[in-house]
Structure 1
Amino acid sequence: MLKKALMISGIVLGLTACSGGGGSEETSGGSGEVDTANAEEVFQQNCASCHGGNLEGGAGPALNKVGSDMSKDEILNKIKEGGGGMPANIIEGKNAESVAAWLAEKK
């Protein structure tokens, strides 16, 4: 019983932490290059509590090789739609695009 309660508390805490602000809206200057610093900052502020600070996973799946399985558009769609315990639109706009492009490079 205690183990189940701790697990549920951890999930709720993780989802609550994931719902933080969207961070900076800056991305690449339209050149098509990924603004790695911005993407990493947005990820750390909004996603790391579930996916790990080093993309190693935790409450959410590991993302250290997500680009091997998903394209930028597929990752962006997952960010927008959520699913599997991840809330929809956890990050939005240019920040979501920046993070999706950055994660798509992880192979």
Structure 2
Amino acid sequence: MKKLIVTLMGASLFIAACGGNDVVNEASNSTNNETTSNGTYDLASGEEIYQQKCAACHGGDLTGAGASAVTGLTYDEVLDAVVNGAGSMPAGLVTGSDAEDVSAWVEKVGNE
């Protein structure tokens, strides 16, 4: 009887621990992703990419640091600049889904 109780308690703890991770992952995904009319984007990734590739010129607060401010822009305007270049900014600094993520993040933060 004692072994049965210990086994059931152990199984309960195991199941509870596994179930808890799903809830945490779902919560973090929902806060890091945003769905817009253009698709679904990973905003946390977009912010990280911005800090690595864009902030030196456009400023950590998007107000410009040697290059133009990137506030008040739409997703499409940012994506066009990232993909095709703008002014002295060369094309292709960020590509693919990274370009989409950073564009979505800049639009969101730059319009708050």
TM class, shorter-length: 0.5 to 0.7
Distance 2:64 2:34 in 1: 30
Equivalent position of 1:39 in the other structure = 46
Unmatched tracts of structure 2, length 5 or more = 1-31
Residue 35 of structure 1, CA deviation: 2.1
Is the Cα–Cα contact under 8 Å of residues 78 and 107 in structure 2 kept in the other structure?
A: yes
Alignment of structure 1 residues 51-62 onto 2, 5 Å: 51-62=58-69
What RMSD in Å do the two structures reach over aligned CA positions?
A: 2.3
Structure 1 gap segments, 5+ residues each:
1-26
Bigger RCO (CA 8 Å, 6+ sep): 1
Give the TM-score, by structure 2 length.
0.59
Percent of aligned pairs sharing the same letter = 39
Q: Which has the higher helix share?
A: 2
Which residue of the partner structure matches residue 104 of structure 1? Answer: 107
Q: How many equivalent residue pairs?
A: 77
Structure 1 runs of 4+ with >3 Å offset: 27-34
